[in-house]
Amino acid sequence: MTTKKKNRRLPGDGSIYHDEKKDRWIAQLNIGYDGKTGRMIKRTKTCLSKREARAALEELTIKYASPNSLAADRLTVAHWLTSWFETYSRPQIRADTAASYQHMLNYAIAAIGRLPLSAVTSFELQRIITKQMNHHYRTAQYFRTIMRMAFKRAVKLKLIDDNPADDLELPKRKPKKPFIRPSRADREALLNAASPYYCWRYLLLTEYFTGLRRGELLALHWQDIDLAAGKLRVRYALANGAKQPGKEAPVYLAEPKTTTSKRELYIPAALCQELTTYKAMQAAKRLQAQNWEHPDLVFTRENGRYINPAVFSSDFCNIRRKLGIKTTFHMLRHDMASRMKASGKFDFKDIQEQLGHSTIQITMDIYTHIDEESKSAVGKWLESDAENLIGSPKGTSKYKAQ
């Protein structure tokens, strides 16, 4: 009688299972056999969720994989960057952020993905910046950040000795585009412009009065707006996922950009009245439609579908250009900050809370605009203050030559 031999588990085999007694998920990796006892050597990590366990298994695989599979001279850049992204980054970030990370990684994978990890130098990474990002400072800056993170982990795991992304140089930064304040006529023209959106006027009015980010505005729910009390809550943001070739980028509802983005804002009676009119109009439109995809969403496409943030930006750009208006949609946030500051009633802390910035430094760096009106005001103040500095005007000095 013959018996089947039990399959011998190989080093590098891993598993995830749930420990019922401890109510924990276990990630387990086999890393080899003890030379004396012949027993399998295992490394495990206890986690609270299955998702954490998956990430833990990836981490264990990278850390304890056999020298043949993990030696830096055999591990390619493509393999390492992909493993790093799936293990350390993707589980921690939003889908739209993950898509932008992947875009940066693709630059490196396409250019040097076949190189052994140990062969990567600053020169290879710098050449990517020079050849593909020479006129795009922000892209190069983002690329450098992602590369530093990825190779820093490789150093920490002792796969390489030094981080080749530490000393990368960025291209010359172009001057910031000047803030162009929309005039009253510009705002009116935009409100009355023909657009693909039945909610266009009310969407822009809400932006004028709140300064919300594009994704926050498009993710508003009716339950977030108290028209009687004049209050609005920001709880979500619409975001685009990774775009597939030949297809529109997918849209999903996500957490706002930062923890401070979740906020409550006051809205004036004039906007509440406009939104009350719009809500009744939208309700009538829903009754006529056979299907309405998101019944509690404030601003939608036909049949209640999400407004794609990327498509909306493109549509807004086309409309403002046809009208000869240079103010971008993001500049409407600038405009909100500028109007608050010009009123003299609010400081930067108030503006930070209104716009949902994570730090007051962001508010000061991005939304402080010294425009021509401000420069003129400074000039007038200096004229009136001159006497405090130098006494009587020229020609009336009491000084006498000795």
Domains contained in the chain, CATH given: 71-174 (1.10.150.130), 184-367 (1.10.443.10)
> Considering just the CA atoms, what is the radius of gyration of the chain in Å?
29
Q: Does residue 9 contact residue 21 with C-beta atoms inside 8 Å?
A: no
State pLDDT tens for residues 252-273. Answer: 888 887 788 899 999 999 999 9
Bridge partner residues of 141 (DSSP): none
State pLDDT tens for residues 232-253. Answer: 999 999 988 777 777 777 888 8
Q: Which of 205, 198, 224, 223 is nearest to 289 (CA)?
A: 198
Residue 63 neighbours by CB distance under 10 Å: 16
Q: Which of 52, 322, 153, 215 is nearest to 207 (CA)?
A: 215
Q: Report the pLDDT averaged over residues 178-184.
A: 88
Whether the CA torsion 21, 24, 27, 32 is positive or negative: it is: negative
State pLDDT tens for residues 338-377. Answer: 888 777 787 778 877 787 777 777 677 665 554 545 555 5
Q: Does the pLDDT value for residue 122 go beyond 60? A: yes
Whether the CA torsion 165, 166, 169, 174 is positive or negative: it is: positive
CA 289 from chain center: how many Å? 34
pLDDT band at 327 (very low <50, low <70, confident <90, very high): very high
Task: Provide the pLDDT for residue 3.
Answer: 45
Task: Provide the pLDDT for residue 2.
Answer: 45
